[in-house]
Structure formats: structure tokens, C-alpha cells
Amino acid sequence: MNYQIKYQQWCENANTDAATKAELQSIAENDQEIKERFFCDLAFGTGGLRGVIGAGTNRINKYMIRKTTKGYAEYIKKAGADACARGVVIAHDNRRFSVEFAEETAGVLAANGIKAYLFDSLRPTPELSFAVRELNAFGGVVITASHNPPEYNGYKLYDERGCQLVPDVNDKVVEEISKIEDPLSVKSLTKAEAGDLIVLLDSSVDETYYKTVMGVALQPDIDKSKIKIVYSPQHGTGNVPVRTVLDRLGYQVIPVEEQCVPDTEFSKTLNPNPETAEAYVLALEYAKRTNADIVITTDPDCDRLGVAVKHKGDYVRMTGNQSAAVLLEYILAQRKVQGTLPANGVMFNTIVTSDLGDRICEDYGVSVEKTLTGFKFIGDKIYQHELAGDKTFVFGYEESYGCLINDCVRDKDAVQAAMMLCESAAYYNSKGMTLIDALENLYAKYGFFLDALDNFTFKGLDGAQKITSLVNGLRNDPPKKVGDIEVLEMEDYASQKMMDAGFPNSDVLRFIMKDGSWVAVRPSGTEPKCKFYFCIVAPTRAEADEKLQNMRAVFEKNC
């Protein structure tokens, strides 16, 4: 349908609320803006919905939330009466319209005879995963756009295992969503109209979650008196759970007060993404004033953890690969000492995660399995081995600052990660070491690993075409050498070969070098970006830096 026709339908439909009509009228003379908003429907992709808030089919708003939820409801109803009765747990973060979108989700489910469990205020994404399992629900929804800018929001779906939907299930939900032609006509009930079909959750789920996370501690009685921690939740959902768990375990936590307020505009942080230096600016001011040992920060939906460590008088930020490698070494070493490391242990990471963790696992006799990017694949791997009874989960992580320690959750969990990182910092402190010292010990043992991620953003109507052209150019004419280093192999995850190896079809390329380094190229599933991941292996930092620059020159020349 022509975008102008869809625009007029939204303007004239009796179901369109007054505020939406006013917003649409304000762009009546701007054809390009109308086209951007209505040339397509906001896609439900591999990571769910994520988009700019606003009126239109290519924006996230209550009508597109209703349409998506209606499609999800049809999928649930096909699963039977028991699925409807078990219901869906719904959580939300601190973003614009997150409360309203969560209530709309519950209202549409109720209108379709499906029970909805609704948290009474913002909650972290990992607790949503935990709650689905704890309540034996059929699924879950979390309203969040993670660390995106304030103008974004999103919608993620979880299955009965507390895992984000894997592709075959996701495709079935998308098929149902695509049948909903008119988002303006989807019915949503208020809480009063829904009656017993909408259940407001009390604090009992919170308490069970906190106790479970605290039970993950390997040395709960370790001396915490000499470790001082600055923490920022980046205005998001981590404030209460992270501080509650750390406080109950006896850690000295100094909160970044300005960033503990659940602010929709993220007004006191330069960037809520722990992957960026801007996220740490205010927290580092606190750290320097208080002489803190570490700074930790969680992203707004509290599934990712970042850390900066005081080392030799300065604060050094660790990448997600680095902090996870240190955590992995600490966990495996302690479990070996305690006699709890399983003989059939398995660690999961992704094809774009540094290989340092793989080397650590080799030393402890823990097997490693790779997945595509997206923690749902790790969650699904955990489930498959549960069914088979052949391997025991010990750790899972992605390079993007997300890890999982205990599989009571089936998504990355920054509450668990924060607790364990503080414990490991206290442990190394007792040995006269910092977390950076622990990392340097790993480099001394396994070689230097340099990881880097470059993002190239391509917005607007031409953005997707540019990304496709970029990836296909590398696919069809792959580099043969980088400097004097031979490219041994190109792994194309859209090829039959990789699908036969057990990977879902995915538009990802990975180039393996003769020296063990690699680069992966992946269009983002939730943002208009093309991402380049580098894992450089070298004897020294200087040599790794040189290799990285050479790789960038070869692989990013058309960006």
C-alpha cells in the first residue's frame, strides 16, 4: 500500500487517538517524513521490535505494540488452553512510554483470553527471564530498548524457558503478526475490564530472585572490607536489584546518586551504554573522590555490565571480552578448588567473542560451544543439553558486556555478573592484585588478545541497501591477505555449509587468519548498523595494534 494512503488512513481512522492525529497533522507538508514513517511496518526481527517512538507504521507506538501483541496472542492460542492459562509475564524499563506499552501488552493479551502477569514498576530484563521460569508462564515480554538513545523503545519476547525466541519460533510469531492488517483495530482491555486476567505481581518474585542470585556466590564470606565499589545503573532498572544484592552480601557500594533516578531522558549520563567511555564520566568522578577500587555500571535494562578498575593510580576500562575472561578464570579456578567443577562442563560464547575464554576452558577441561550473536542461542544451547543430559553449563558470555553464571536465568544477567565481579575483585585484592593484574596474568599465559568493535551507521531509506552492498562485496570478493598474513577461510553463515554445522541462516561473515586472528562482519539485527568485530592474537600489544590497523584498512575500506 502507498505510504500516503496509509498516512491518510491513520489520520482519518476513528480509532486513532487525538494526540496521534495531532502528531500526524504536524508533518502533513513533509512528504519525506511521512514516507519514513509509513513506507513499511516496523519489523519484528531476531531481537524483537526496536524503533524510534512516534506515530506511524514504521515507528514504535501503542498501535504497533497492539499489533505485535495480537500476533503473539494468536500464536499462544494455537498452543492451547493451557498456554493461555499459564499466561505471559510482562516487565518494562524506564523509557518513554514503557509503562503504557507494558499495559497495552497486558490489555491485548487479556482481550484474547490470555493471563498477563504485570510487574508494578520497572524491572531488569534478567528478572523477567527468571520470573517466566519461576511462575511457570508460557512466555514473557519485556519493554526495553536496552542502551539505545532516549527516542527509542523496544519489545522482546521470551519463551517458557525464559529464553528469547529462537528463529523457528520467532518465524511462527512473525507469521501471525503479518496477518494483522490494521493495527488501529486491535482491541486492548483496561485493567478494570480485564479483571483476573491481569495479575499485578508483588515483591515475592523479587525476593526469590535476589536470594537465588546471592546463592551464586562462590565465596560469600570473603573479606569485603578493603574493596570499595562505585555503581551506576545509568537511570535504569539495575538500581534496586544490584544494590540490594551487594548490600545484603556486605559490599561497600557508593551509588552515583544522579544516575539512580529512573529518568526517561537519561539526563545525567552522556551515554547509558557501558561499552562507551561516556557512560563512566560521572562514575569516575565519584571514584576519584572516594578512592574507589572499581567502578561498575549496568545498562538501562540491566543485562550488561561494564567495569573500570583502579590500576597503578589510574582507572582502566575493561572490554566485555576482558571482564568475562577474568570472571571465567576466577569461577573455574574456585570451582576446581571447591570440587564443584563438573567433569562434563561446557562454556558457551559466540562467533564474535574473543578466543581468550576458549584457551582458559581448555586448561580446565571445559568444552566450548559457539553460537550466533544473541543470547537466545546460548539459552537454547543450555536447554538442549538439559534435555540430552550430556553437558553441564558453567558459564556463557558475549563480547557485548553480557554474561550468565547461573542458568536460573536464560539471558545475560548483569545482577549476577555485578555480584561475581565484585567477589572476584575482593579475592584478587586479598592477593595484592587488581582485576587488571589478573587479566595480565592471562595474557602472560595465553598470549595477548586485542578485541575491537567498529560500528558504521547507515540511516534512512538507503541505509539497508548500503549495508547489504557492503556485506555482499566482502562475500563475493573476500580478501586473500592482510599485510603478510594469509586469510585461511571465510565462514559464511548464510551458506549451506554453516547451516549443516548447526548454525541458523544468518547474514554474517567471519574471516579466519593464519595466525589465529579473525574478523567478523555482521549487520545489526536491531539498529541501522554494520558491525566489524576483531580478535587479534599477537605476542605484544604493539604488534596487535599494528595488525588491527592493517585489518581495518582491508575490511573497512568501503565504509
Which phi and psi angles does 116 have, rounded to 5°?
A: -125, 125
Distance of alpha carbon 188 from alpha carbon 195, whole angstroms: 13
Contact 161, 410 (CB under 8 A): yes
The number of beta carbons lying within 10 Å of the beta carbon of residue 539 is 10
Q: Residue 333: in which H helix or E strand, if any?
A: helix 320-338
Give the pairing of strands 392-398 and 345-350. Answer: parallel
Active site residues: 146
CB atoms within 10 A of CB 369: 16
The Cβ of residue 267 has, within 10 Å, a number of other Cβ atoms equal to 11
Residue matched to cell numbers 541501522: 528
- In whole angstroms, how far apart are CA 170 and each of 70, 121, 157, 177? 14, 27, 9, 10
Alpha helices in 146-267 (DSSP H): 167-178, 191-194, 204-214, 239-249
Give the H or E element holding residue 405: none
Spatial contact of 230 and 426, defined as CB atoms under 8 Å apart = no
Determine contact, residues 255/130, Cβ cutoff 8 Å: no
Q: How far apart are CA 550 and CA 110, in angstroms?
A: 56
Cα distance between residue 540 and residue 392, in whole Å: 35
Residue 473's SS3 state is: helix
Q: Are 70 and 106 in contact (CB under 8 A)?
A: no
One-letter identity of residue 373:
T
**CA 318, CA 130: separation in Å to the nearest integer?**
28
Distance of CA 532 to the CA centre of its chain: 18
Taking the C-alpha atoms of residue 289 and residue 91, their distance in angstroms, rounded to an integer, is 36
- What Rg do the C-alpha atoms of the chain give, in angstroms? 24
Cβ neighbours of residue 456 closer than 8 Å, sequence gap 6 or more: 470, 529, 530, 531, 532, 556, 559
Question: What CA–CA distance (Å, rounded) separates 155 from 108?
Answer: 14
Task: Please give the single-letter amino acid code of residue 443.
Answer: Y
Rounded to whole angstroms, what are the CA distances from 62 to 16, 19, 106?
10, 12, 12
SS3 (DSSP) at 309: strand
Beta bridge partners of 393: 346
Distance CA 405, CA 389 (A): 19
C-alpha cell at 253: 557500594
Paired with 153 in beta bridges are 51
